[in-house]
Structure 1
Amino acid sequence: MKTSVIPIFIPHIGCPYRCVFCNQWQITGHRGVPDAADVQHSIDTYTAGVTEPRHWEVAFYGGSFTAIPTTLQEQLLQPAYEALATGHIQAVRCSTRPDFITQPILDRLRSFGMTIVELGVQSMDDRVLELAKRGHTAAHVLEATALLRANHFTVGHQLMPGLPGENWDSLKQTTTAVCRLHPDMARIYPVAVLDHTELADMYRAGRYKALTVHEGVERAAYMKQAFLEHTIQCIRTGLQATKDLDDSTQVLAGAYAPAMGELVDTRRYGQQLFALLDILEKEPIMISYHRRDTSRVRGYRNVTLIGAGRRYGNQLQWREDSTVMPGCIQIGTASQGRYEIYTDMRMIKKIECST
């Protein structure tokens, strides 16, 4: 059954800090503080006229939901709770700060039917968190994740590769720490430099070197591959495109691209495909994949296909094959047998040897 999200944006309310990267108005494309009527209107609008079965989730995004005044939390939650009770929607979720998770807070969320909480982790390196002015530490993430698990919530982590002070060692430290905590899901948002933020001032003054899109893809692909190998679902890579984010006067630099998710999967699939092709003898090779994986295997705008042609010559053929399972690349040769690459697990299996 298809899952559809009904987003409710609450930018810049509740959060006691202003992170150097943060401009929620641009990130969400929404302004103003919603009320209960807005929540009800969103539920009615999104679900109107939909006849096929769907799993509807109301999601409170864009701010620090558990940090906003309790009265407002309850006002916003009430229409979602009523829709949940009638079966009009199937789940309620929110995103919030790791340092605003306590037992009383979770008791309140649970009483309104919420079952999914995403934490704005960003990094597990305390030095990076300090430079980003997050106002919390990695220890808060550990404590919040443990408390959410103890209360049987589904847990999500949101990460931001490319923050000030981060290098590859720091990125690997964060990735390892998140894998060890094993949230149910993760989102990866490589840093984009938004105007009207402290990070923009740092960038203009030469005190912050922004990631290029290529560097952002490299770091996000590393994180996503590690998460998948640890069976952590990666539900988004890169900021959702909005009119403001597509405005070059608003996004000054950094790793923002509307197709970030495709670019990241292109890199993951391409690295694994080339690693196998590099060790095979040169001969005609058939590369087969499920239709769902065509853009990942051939690459965004066929970049992998073109690069493979330059690297290996005209020995490769590419085809969609409905018998190949999604997430798998099948390699067929005449003399060296047949191989399958299971991309999420970074595993190569030889499934047939020539006789």
Structure 2
Amino acid sequence: MMEKERLRTSIIPIFIPHIGCPYRCVFCNQWRITGHEGVPDASEVSNLIDTYTRGVEKRHWEAAFYGGSFTAIPGSLQESLLEPAYEALQEGRIDAIRCSTRPDCITGPILERLQRYGMTTVELGVQSMDDVVLERARRGHTAAQVKDATALLRQYGFTVGHQLMPGLPGEDWQSLIRTTDAICRLKPDIARIYPVVVIAGTELADSWQNGEYQALTIHEGVQRAAYMKQQFLSKGIQVIRTGLQATENLDDPAQVLAGAYTPAMGEMVDTRRYQLQLFRVLDQILSACPGQTCVISYNRRDTSRVRGIRNVTVHRSRLRYGREFLWKEDDAVPLYHIQVKTDGGTWLIDTDRGRCSIIEIND
């Protein structure tokens, strides 16, 4: 078991855009988001798994049914798609099966079917826990149904994922905070955060073009996603993705009309999280003794997060404090931590938990 946990996890994405979904959300155009059209069949699923895994070094492979509402499609189609994945699972060619679906398409019999085919992780398209926002997005489900689905998935022993979409019509910061708090109380095992992107061919695109909807800027998307991610991590919720995966369609300005899309979203979000925490500690330390020396150390794997994308945190620290700091890679510093050492002592920031502890105080 320990050997498998150390293996690199790789996803085999099997896209089923729009299939089974009883609603058309205002933001949704899965054909363009995923870059895939049409419905796969069992042979395509089998070939896809074989293509990904053949001749590749051993990894933790997961077959993932993405893009639509998997549990809303007819049971016979679910089974035909799951069969080749289950066969690969039994043969040891893959290690897990997962899917994404709607909160209102979760029942005991549905989950029993998924279990028979070896599925262990179900991600729910939650988007918001504000019923007003959900209604304006034409989601067709309520926050209460998210709670019920999460509880049922836990009852059946599934790993639970929540997918959130900050920036939907009707959401403001108070709504975002309420959604974040609600998700923290439900405490899914994993979460994905996708700031809203305005895709051509959607109702949201029409609203944006008519001036009825104001899209998030990239900066605003980073702010909201960073807030959510920090809160989730502090509660032990693993955030496995921030921002849409880059595709040829999403990199086409004729397809993405507005909103918080950038291939660097994840890096920008972590830059903001680390920067806010570092500056908060530096403010406290340097307000008491502004002239003292200061060394900022971090694990080399954290370099881009601490220094910031394109060294933005280094530049902003120079402007903010009117001085230079020594930035130092040090693998003795735990990953996801920042160490600040001054003449007066040493502080250690746990960036995931959002906490700072004093390691040493100098006389």
TM-score by length of 2: 0.96
1:328 to 317, 337, 345: 337
Count residues in correspondence: 353
Aligned partners of 1:9 and 1:28 also within 8 Å = yes
- Corresponding residue for 2:127? 122
1:103 to 89, 105, 108: 108
Q: Does residue 112 in structure 1 map to residue 121 in structure 2?
A: no
The CA distance in 1 between the partners of 2:31 and 2:309, in whole Å, is 30
Q: Which one-letter code corresponds to 1:339 in the other structure?
A: W
The CA distance in 2 between the partners of 1:184 and 1:81, in whole Å, is 23
- Corresponding residue for 1:21? 27
The CA distance in 2 between the partners of 1:302 and 1:40, in whole Å, is 44
Once the two structures are TM-superposed, the CA of residue 203 in structure 1 deviates from its matched residue by 0.2
The CA distance in 1 between the partners of 2:340 and 2:322, in whole Å, is 16
- Corresponding residue for 1:286? 295
> What is the SS of the residue equivalent to 1:115?
strand
Alignment of 1:245-264 (within 5 A): 245-264=250-269
Q: Which one-letter code corresponds to 1:270 in the other structure?
A: Q
Once the two structures are TM-superposed, the CA of residue 95 in structure 1 deviates from its matched residue by 0.1
Once the two structures are TM-superposed, the CA of residue 314 in structure 1 deviates from its matched residue by 2.9
The CA distance in 2 between the partners of 1:27 and 1:319, in whole Å, is 40
Residues 217-255 of structure 1 deviation map (CA, whole Å, 9 limit, x = unaligned): 000000000000000000000000001111111111111
The CA distance in 1 between the partners of 2:105 and 2:338, in whole Å, is 43
- Corresponding residue for 2:86? 81
Alignment of 1:1-355 (within 5 A): 1-51=7-57, 53-280=58-285, 281-282=289-290, 283-334=292-343, 336-355=344-363
Once the two structures are TM-superposed, the CA of residue 49 in structure 1 deviates from its matched residue by 1.1
Q: Which one-letter code corresponds to 2:359 in the other structure?
A: I
Q: Which one-letter code corresponds to 2:353 in the other structure?
A: M
Once the two structures are TM-superposed, the CA of residue 12 in structure 1 deviates from its matched residue by 1.2
> What is the SS of the residue equivalent to 2:205?
helix
The CA distance in 2 between the partners of 1:18 and 1:279, in whole Å, is 49
Residues 138-174 of structure 1 deviation map (CA, whole Å, 9 limit, x = unaligned): 0110110000000000000000000000001100110
Once the two structures are TM-superposed, the CA of residue 86 in structure 1 deviates from its matched residue by 1.1
The CA distance in 1 between the partners of 2:31 and 2:329, in whole Å, is 42
The CA distance in 2 between the partners of 1:242 and 1:26, in whole Å, is 9
Q: Which one-letter code corresponds to 1:55 in the other structure?
A: H
Q: Which one-letter code corresponds to 2:311 in the other structure?
A: N
Once the two structures are TM-superposed, the CA of residue 121 in structure 1 deviates from its matched residue by 0.2
Aligned partners of 1:284 and 1:315 also within 8 Å = no
Once the two structures are TM-superposed, the CA of residue 315 in structure 1 deviates from its matched residue by 3.3
The CA distance in 2 between the partners of 1:195 and 1:127, in whole Å, is 24
The CA distance in 1 between the partners of 2:300 and 2:24, in whole Å, is 44
The CA distance in 1 between the partners of 2:358 and 2:44, in whole Å, is 55
The CA distance in 1 between the partners of 2:311 and 2:253, in whole Å, is 26
Residues 195-232 of structure 1 deviation map (CA, whole Å, 9 limit, x = unaligned): 00000000001110001100000000000000000000
The CA distance in 2 between the partners of 1:301 and 1:10, in whole Å, is 37
- Corresponding residue for 2:3? none
Once the two structures are TM-superposed, the CA of residue 179 in structure 1 deviates from its matched residue by 0.5
The CA distance in 2 between the partners of 1:182 and 1:4, in whole Å, is 24
The CA distance in 1 between the partners of 2:91 and 2:50, in whole Å, is 13
Work out the percentage of aligned pairs sharing the same amino acid: 67
The CA distance in 2 between the partners of 1:291 and 1:63, in whole Å, is 39
> What is the SS of the residue equivalent to 2:39?
coil
TM-score by length of 1: 0.98
Residues 86-125 of structure 1 deviation map (CA, whole Å, 9 limit, x = unaligned): 1111100000000000011001000000010000000000
The CA distance in 1 between the partners of 2:320 and 2:293, in whole Å, is 14
Once the two structures are TM-superposed, the CA of residue 29 in structure 1 deviates from its matched residue by 1.0
The CA distance in 2 between the partners of 1:144 and 1:50, in whole Å, is 36
Once the two structures are TM-superposed, the CA of residue 54 in structure 1 deviates from its matched residue by 1.3
The CA distance in 2 between the partners of 1:219 and 1:179, in whole Å, is 15
Once the two structures are TM-superposed, the CA of residue 311 in structure 1 deviates from its matched residue by 1.2
> What is the SS of the residue equivalent to 2:81?
helix
The CA distance in 1 between the partners of 2:324 and 2:188, in whole Å, is 42
Gaps of 5+ in 1: none
Gaps of 5+ in 2: 1-6
Residues 249-294 of structure 1 deviation map (CA, whole Å, 9 limit, x = unaligned): 1111111110000000000000000001112222221000001110
> What is the SS of the residue equivalent to 2:169?
coil
